[in-house]
Chain A
Amino acid sequence: AQSVTQPDIHITVSEGASLELRCNYSYGATPYLFWYVQSPGQGLQLLLKYFSGDTLVQGIKGFEAEFKRSQSSFNLRKPSVHWSDAAEYFCAVAPDTGRRALTFGSGTRLQVQP
């Protein structure tokens, strides 16, 4: 069965600093990978997705993620963090067979210091 691991529960960065959030997946075939963001008390919003092709994908709000098959990773990055980026971030994987629903990681809460 597929699984997603987000090793960092909580990350604090200074405004203007770069950001990398880690995501590792376990899945036999080529996965379909997603990053979502959640503001407190709200639903989730899609940041970006990877299906195939170019392993570096661009998303909304200046985020990007790189798919590395050799490392089973799909890390999220942003060159310069803004205070409004403070939120919880979830990585997710979608299989193309079997259980047909996204599996989510446990999330990483991002705090931004002024």
Chain B
Amino acid sequence: DGGITQSPKYLFRKEGQNVTLSCEQNLNHDAMYWYRQDPGQGLRLIYYSQIVNDFQKGDIAEGYSVSREKKESFPLTVTSAQKNPTAFYLCASSIGAGGRTGELFFGEGSRLTVL
């Protein structure tokens, strides 16, 4: 079945450590996204990529980095520069970016806790 796979589902990190969250899709979608979810704040866009080897910052990109070397993969690295990284992270993809093709398909999420 086609879908989006995020791993790990739960991750614990010590302060000062970088961690990488994996996101893989087999939907053959061109666009991929990372959102951060905090209670009462909805989903906030971290980064998005419309095509391989290209990505754009979202609203809260500071302290995060991404790469898009393959169409099916869009890993997110949470660096030690991110001041408050404890959150639920959601990866999504769409056929295209924006407009009619902007309907998102989501993974199950990764919960990161900084100890």
Indicate which residue in A90, A101, A107 contacts B98 across the interface (CB closer than 8 Å): A101
Which of B50, B92, B102, B106 makes the CB contact (< 8 A) with A94? B102
Tell me which of A42-50, A55-63, A69-77 binds B.
Answer: A42-50
Determine whether the beta carbon of A100 is less than 8 Å from that of B104: no
Question: Chain A interface: which size bin?
Answer: 20 to 34
When chains A and B are docked, how far (Å) is the Cα of A45 from the Cα of B56? 24
B58 touches A105 (CB 8 A): no
**B residues in contact (CB < 8 Å) with A:** 4, 31, 33, 35, 40-45, 48, 50, 56, 58, 88, 90, 92, 97-100, 102-109, 111
A106-B42 in contact given A43-B108, A100-B97 (Cβ < 8 Å): yes
Contact B102 A104 (CB under 8 A): no
Q: A95-B98, A96-B98 are in contact. Are A102 and B40 (CB under 8 A)?
A: no
